[in-house]
Chains A and B, each alone.
Chain A
Amino acid sequence: MNALELTDVRKVYPVGDSEVVALDHASLTLGQNEILALVGPSGSGKTTLLSIAGGILSPSSGKVVVGGEDISDYSNGQLTRFRQEKVGFVFQSVNLVPFLTAAENLFVVDELGPRTGKPARATAGKLLDELGLAERTKNLPSQLSGGERQRVAIGRALMNDPDLVLFDEPTSALDTGLGAQVMELIRSEMKQRGISAIVVTHDPRITEYCDRTVQIVDGELSA
């Protein structure tokens, strides 16, 4: 079973009286345990594609199947549940709840669905450990460096044991060295867990950490 199948997906944003076609005829298949780099210029539709794959946005037309689950026609409530259970997100910039500590930013994921409590706390601790944040668990986001914040966000994305993790420019706020470190971390975490991922970037160096690269220009994909 493929981690993600987009078939002829189109997304149109209404803007005033006209429309913006952000994604057109987008078809993409992501295999099990595959890390895909999605590269394209600003405004090309990368975030839009990611949002559709992650159930944050519904496509205007086309089919979206994630881990065998067709979410194309899901209601808002169904999408919320889907996001809660099946996918992990690392967003372009807004990633942490400012009034929660690093550990709580992970643990909060458990609070969104049926609570498990103790096991979730243990998972959060283990993840932060793996991400090299054992000493930072009680820090608020404002007391973390940019790289640390991004690592906490990666931990958060893994908390619900997702089938698919979506990274939207995970290194854009970091310098080159730190970006490489974070990408290495992403790769090892994904491979170790056998999770598929899409990493959006416009930095070609990032693609080295991915299995495959897909280009997007003006809402259209090309390998």
Chain B
Amino acid sequence: MFLALREIGRAKARFGLLVSAIALLVFLILFQQSLQNGLLTSFTGAVKNQSAPVLVYSVDGQRVLQASVITPDLEQRVRSTEGVGEVGAIRQGTFTGAPLTESENFDTSVIGYDAGADGEGLGAPASLSEGRLPTRAFEGVASAADARNGYGVGDVVRIVPGDAEISIVGIAQEAQLNVGPTIFVSNETYLELVAAVNPDAGVPPPNVLGVAPAVGVTDAQVVEAINGQSLELDALTRSDAAAKTPGVAQVQQSFAIIFLLYALVVPCVTGLFFLIVTFQKAGALTLLRAIGASARSLVWSLLLQAVIILGAGLALGILLYLPVSQTRLGGLELQFEEGAVIGWSIALLALGLVSSLFAARRVLKIDPMEATTGRGVGQ
């Protein structure tokens, strides 16, 4: 304890540099973790954070809402599947949205669901940060990330062409689709929008079905039962649906490689640092061994230093990450990822400690006899 702390105290610059390096790496890791999660949430948040526990796509839709089409025949099969409780139609289309308060237009995903009188039907946004669900025609709930771009409560978004207007009555958290503004409306409103944009379109079939299992049936059981009904049906739990959206896995893989590299750099830097320091102070360690320090106490001292330095690096890195995690980056809303902070802290601490075992091995190899031969420090 004494030795470990004194050494750090006497070599503040050197240990400070290591702390800074670790802090920077921790910051980068956490920042990219936020970036990844922000990216995925704005990509598939509307799928993940809606109320239907199970979503049924058509197989040829390849798990893309807009590309999936549920024919009346398929819908009938789903409805008659054992274990299925409630079923709701969900439609999705991309429209050009022109918020009345803005001069700009935005590609806007509109999601229609069987809202019902209270707006709480299957496919409703799961958590509102403001306002209420749509209960009347031409009302909608917009994604929170876009509230300040004319999609806030009380704003009106005109859909062009056709000039139908949606009044925003609520704000849904983490409910974007395809990294753009997203509005949840009733299916009735959705069909009015489609008719306004293209009067010849007719009534489009649902893109997917939202399903709630019957009482006593699990989501997984319903998924299995529905998939057993037809080769053309592709039922998924909502979190699977989000995770298996095309592109998500690729994004995760790319980030995983980046994370792996960082996860290697931190222990490499730490391990190398302590190895070099151990070589440099070999004379002092030999002397200490010769005057009666046990090898174990010197190793503890080393590991204690590693814990202190890694802990300080982590704390500093998290401190740097804190303000950045509250910001927006382009269209992305970043968040402070507690899970990532805890997970990475544990992982990096463990990896750093493991890497300093190389230095510890060196300490264990020190022969106190060398103190007598005159080699080493002090002269």
Contacts and interface: CB of A to CB of B under 8 A. Distances in A.
Contact of A91 (B6, B10, B295, B374): B374
24 contacts: A47-B373, A51-B372, A80-B292, A81-B292, A83-B291, A83-B368, A84-B292, A85-B292, A91-B290, A91-B374, A94-B286, A94-B287, A95-B287, A95-B378, A97-B288, A98-B281, A98-B283, A99-B7, A99-B10, A100-B3, A104-B2, A108-B3, A108-B288, A168-B372
Contacts of B357: none
A91 B2 contact: no
Interface of B: 1-3, 6-7, 10-11, 281, 283-284, 286-295, 297, 368-369, 371-379
A128 interface: no
A56 B371 contact: yes
A174 B42 CA distance: 75
A98 B291 contact: no
Contacts of B283: 94, 98
Interface string A64-95: 00000000000001001111110001011111
Interface class of chain B by DSSP = helix
Interface in A116-160: 140-141, 149, 156, 160
Contacts of A82: 292
Given A92-B373, A94-B375, A100 B291 contact: no
A50 B369 CA distance: 11
A80 B289 contact: yes
A92 B372 contact: yes
Nearest to A58: B369
A208 interface: no
A137 to B, nearest CB: 14
B291 A99 contact: no
Contacts of A112: 288, 291-294, 297
A162 B292 CA distance: 12
A70 to B, nearest CB: 19
A113 B292 contact: yes
Contacts of B297: 112
Contacts of A149: 378
Given A149-B378, A173-B379, A84 B284 contact: no
B284 A99 contact: yes
Nearest to B377: A98
Contacts of A111: 1-3
